[in-house]
Amino acid sequence: MKNAFTFNRKMILKSACFFLLILVAINYSKAQMPQYYNYNTPGSANSIPTNIPFGKDVQLLYLPGDFTQPTPAPLGVVTSIYLRINESYPLGPFTYTDFTVKMGQSSITTFTAGSFYTGPLTTVYYRASVTLTGTAGGWISFPLDSSFTYDPGQSLIVEVGQCGVPGATGYSMCYTAISDLRRNWSLGGCPFAYSNGDASVYHIGMDICIPPTPPANTTPLANQTICSGSSTILSASGTGTLGWYSAAIGGTYLGSGANYSTPALTTNTTYYVQDSTCTVSLSRTPIAVTVNPVFAFTENHSICDGEIYNWHGSDYNMAGTFYDSLQTINGCDSIYTLNLTVNSVDTSLTVSDPTITTNAVGASYQWIDCDNAYAIIPGAVSQSYTAVANGNYAVIVTQGLCSDTSACVPIITIGISSIQLGEVAIYPNPTTGKFVIRNENIDWRKIEIYNILGERIFADTYKQQAEIDFTNQPDGIYLIKAVDKKGVEYSSKFIKE
């Protein structure tokens, strides 16, 4: 029984050890590895800066070609930086105060003895308080707060510092000693003051995002040349998310996507598009929009009433604003505007037989004889004209550049004696319709009534008294012409209201 128990106990211990080895192997195989690093070997152990309780700072210099594992580190954007933990000294867990990582690049190949590197450094990671734990033989990573562009043709400076880590012990950092000054470190505590330097090269690694190539401009050529006042759609293609900007660097962010619709443009404008994957493209692709002008022309013209103005092949005789467009050689419209004014002449007349007066004021006048082939009446150039013979007369009125002729009006009272008051009675005068003509002393033969146009609208053999109905006649001035038995003509006027 004893031998059997001893055998079984040995078998259990062997199985446990084998299981432990499997767990260790599994944990190690799952340990996070940087994409690119200089060494993945134990090297020598050091406590600076992670294991110094009262705070410490270290500057590390890496030359071009140092990061070659597993392949050379490319040009790109560093998104995380790693420190390798020594196989014999796991890190923490320790809580740090003001844990800071800075990075910079330079052409130097060695630090200057006796002082810290003072070139430009960018703070890429900072925690006022952070607890860190690192597995022995593994890597501890620091995702950067702000990305850092790495150029493999330049030396890289990495500075790691902390201002206190209570209870820290051990030698967790791995390094390999080579030549020249590749490490600077500080005296204890913050603020940091230079202490010394040596040839130690810490084992570190990086994750690098390779920037995408600048996007390809896929905008149709027709969309890159537009007319002033128009908008257009720009297009680009890339491998990630496209962003549109107003400038090659910085500028205003305009939107994202494969297409961008511009606002209405009046001048040549260039837009810029960048690609973004794990980082942005190193440059933006410019897409220029050429804006061809649209010309605008305005014409102001005036014509006289009755005239026709021909503009761009069309006839116009009414006042108004009219438009036309013609296409330029660039395919853009030229807009033409016509403001047309029509000037009219007042040709209205006032007749007080035998005098005619034009109502146009401040014009030029020329009276004409309508019954004599519209012949000009010499000297009749006033606003009023008094006829010397019965007939039809008109006036040519000139206002500005426009002239027009009035209608012909008749004069019929020349040579007709006026009926004397008391010889005939007309009442009521004015009348609204019916009125009475009564003979007093003259022996009449006939009586006729004419309108202002000289048209006879009533005729009858005269009686001692006649009642005439003018209800259906228009309002106006009428002429009564009477002839006695001796052939003498008499006239008088009455008004219909």
DSSP state of 20: H
> What pLDDT band is residue 408 in, cutting at 50, 70 and 90?
very high
Token readout for 59 is 């500057």
Task: Name the percent of the chain lying above pLDDT 90.
Answer: 65
Question: 26: part of which helix (H) or strand (E)?
Answer: helix 2-29
Task: Examine the pLDDT at 10 and tell me if it is beyond 90.
Answer: no
- Per-residue tokens: 110: 């060695």
For residue range 22-55, what is the model confidence (pLDDT) as tens digits? 333 333 333 489 999 999 998 999 999 999 999 9
Distance of CA 60 to the CA centre of its chain: 52
Residue 151 has pLDDT above 60, yes or no: yes
Q: What is the CATH number of domain 417-496?
A: 2.60.40.3080
Nearest to 398 by CA among 434, 446, 358: 358
pLDDT over 60 at 13, yes or no: no
User: How high is the pLDDT of residue 153?
Assistant: 97
Mean pLDDT of 58-71: 97
What pLDDT, in 10s, does the model give residues 378-395? 999 999 999 988 889 999
Domains 216-292 and 417-496 share a fold: yes
CB count within 10 Å of CB 458 equals: 16
- Radius of gyration, CA atoms only, the chain: 57
CATH 2.60.40 fits 216-292, yes or no: yes
Residue 12 has what pLDDT? 35
d(CA 156, CA 476): 112
b/e 357-391 (16+ beta carbons within 10 angstroms → b): bbebeebebbbbbbeeeeeebeebeebebebeebb
Whether pLDDT at 62 is above 60? yes
Q: What contacts 31, CB < 8 A, 6 or more positions away?
A: 135, 137, 138, 139
Non-local (6+) Cβ contacts of 95 within 8 A are 129, 130, 131, 165, 166
Which residues are bridge partners to 142 per DSSP?
Answer: 81
Percent of the chain at pLDDT > 70 equals: 90
Tokens matching residue 242: 């496209």
Least confident window among 31-35, 155-159, 230-234: 31-35
pLDDT of residue 416: 57
The domain locations on the chain are 1-30, 32-209, 216-292, 296-343, 349-411, 417-496
Query: What is the model's pLDDT at position 422?
Result: 47
Q: For residues 57 and 195, what is the distance between their CA atoms, to the nearest angstrom? A: 10
Provide the pLDDT confidence category of residue 21 given band limits of 50, 70 and 90.
very low
DSSP string, 166-204: TT--S--EEEEE-SS--EEEEPSSSS--EEEEESEEE-E
Average pLDDT, the chain: 87
280 DSSP assignment = B
Tokens (6 digits) for 344: 């009219």
Q: What is the pTM of this model?
A: 0.51
Please tell me the least confidently modeled range out of 135-139, 204-208, 471-475: 471-475
